[in-house]
Each structure stands twice: as structure tokens, then as C-alpha cells.
Homo-oligomer: A and B are copies of this chain.
């Protein structure tokens, strides 16, 4: 463990930076930085060569988790120790583990060149619940999807979403802040078949959809689904047959079943 001084002033620029980043989307996008919290998540970030700027650890975390922290291959990063009080201040959880990292936004290649004509993609349009977005990213990771494209969703770099992804953030390629107006023509230009997920018994049943070629499935907002103009512009409207009421599948669960079928179609 490092022997440097313990940061204990709330006016310390690193602490002020963290506070700004966890509380404001605007600040995150102004700096292109976000905060990771939790030993496991920080470990995942380091293992995946995420562009970490600094690692902050509280005094008691440094003492308690000395053995664990010592096992982390820091790849040259140094650790700054902060007081426990400051740890509580920059934490987005009720009981912090006391391990934080400030990380630059994850790099992603230009979409135009990255989209593969035989790839399988998930397009999320106006999704607003951080827990749902995180769980969908985890599931996309499990299903080995080629990419998640985010249009007008809640901020993927918010502390809640980052935590809910359980590290899948570093494993699934994703494109943030896409524009649906330009994305759909681009997908079609690449000959990727677009499927709009809708709640409509007249739409094609998902089990009879052919996902063997390049496919992108579009999923809409929790309450309102996809805008009509968007589903109308897709190649196929498809639906998950349900027995219960319309409310009985939540957005993340519907996305999970879609990802499962998409993965099955790939093989």
C-alpha cells in the first residue's frame, strides 16, 4: 500500500471532482469523466484497461482490504488514500466499500466502420430506468451481443447504471448518444435487418423471426414503447407472445428474452 498523505479536506480538487461527477450528468459530459465505486468494479475496469485517471481508497478500506487491493494489478496506477468521511461524501451508496476510481469515458470506434453486416445489435430508445439499463447491459454481455446502441436513454455513466452493469460496461461494446434518425438509415445501408419490439398481437411472433443474418432489435421506453414513426421505419414489427396483462413483462425482462432469441438465431 502507498504511504502518501491521507486526503482529508473536502476542498481537495480530486474530491470536488468526484462530487461533481456523481451528482451531475452535465459535469460528466463537460469533462468526459465518470466515477466507479466498489472494489469489484474498479478491478474489472483495470483488468479491461479502462482509461482510469485515478484510484481513491478510504483509510479503512485500505486497512480492511489491504490483501485484496494488493492482488489488483494496478498496471502502474497509484492509489490515493482519503479519509472515511470523504469516502462517505463521494459515495453513491448507503454503505460504501470505500474504493473509487475516476475514469475517462470508454472509447468506441466510429459506428459507420464498426457495424458489421452480419452483427447482432440491440438498440435502446428512450429507456429511462437506470436499473433496467444496467440489467440489459449485463444480459447483452451474457448473450455475447455485438453491440448496444443507446438513443436518448438515461445516462449510462450515472452511478446507478454503472453499478447495475456489474462490470459488463467494460465488456459489451456500446455506442452512447446515438441519434435514431441517422442510426436507422445507417443500419439499413449496412443491410442489417431492423426489428421493432412492439406490444401488438398482429406483429410477427419473435419465435418465427429469422435472426440468422445481421439483425438489430429496437426496444422503446418503459411506459410508451417505441415512437410510432420509429417502428414504422423498421423492416419488421415483432412481439413477444404473452398470456398475462400488458404490464406483466418489464422492459429489462422483455429485452432479456429478445437477447436470448437473438443469440439463439446467431448460431
Chain A residues in the interface with B (C-beta under 8 A): 135, 138-139, 141-144, 166-168, 171, 207, 240, 242-245, 247-250, 252-253, 256-257, 260, 263-264
Q: Which of B166, B167, B244, B252 contacts A142 (CB 8 A)?
A: B244
Determine whether the beta carbon of A250 is less than 8 Å from that of B135.
yes
Determine whether the beta carbon of A143 is less than 8 Å from that of B243.
yes
Determine whether the beta carbon of B144 is less than 8 Å from that of A249.
no
Known: A138-B248, A243-B263. 14 other contacts (CB 8 A): A135-B250, A138-B244, A138-B250, A139-B249, A141-B243, A142-B242, A142-B243, A142-B249, A143-B244, A166-B247, A168-B244, A171-B248, A257-B260, A260-B260
A206 nearest in chain B by CB position: B260
CB proximity of A265 to chain B, nearest CB, Å: 12
Q: Can you report 26 residue pairs joining A to B where beta carbons are below 8 Å apart?
A: A135-B253, A138-B244, A138-B247, A138-B250, A139-B248, A139-B249, A139-B253, A141-B243, A141-B245, A142-B240, A142-B242, A142-B244, A142-B248, A142-B249, A143-B242, A144-B243, A144-B244, A166-B248, A168-B244, A168-B248, A171-B244, A207-B264, A253-B256, A257-B257, A257-B260, A260-B260
Please report the C-alpha to C-alpha distance between residue A135 and residue B135 in the assembled complex, in whole angstroms.
Answer: 13
A145 nearest in chain B by CB position: B243
CB proximity of A36 to chain B, nearest CB, Å: 16
Please report the C-alpha to C-alpha distance between residue A143 and residue B256 in the assembled complex, in whole angstroms.
Answer: 14
Please report the C-alpha to C-alpha distance between residue A166 and residue B19 in the assembled complex, in whole angstroms.
Answer: 36
Number of copies: 2
A164 nearest in chain B by CB position: B250
CB proximity of A160 to chain B, nearest CB, Å: 14
Which residues on B sit within 8 Å (CB–CB) of A257? 256-257, 260
Please report the C-alpha to C-alpha distance between residue A249 and residue B248 in the assembled complex, in whole angstroms.
Answer: 20
Which residues on B sit within 8 Å (CB–CB) of A141? 243-245, 248
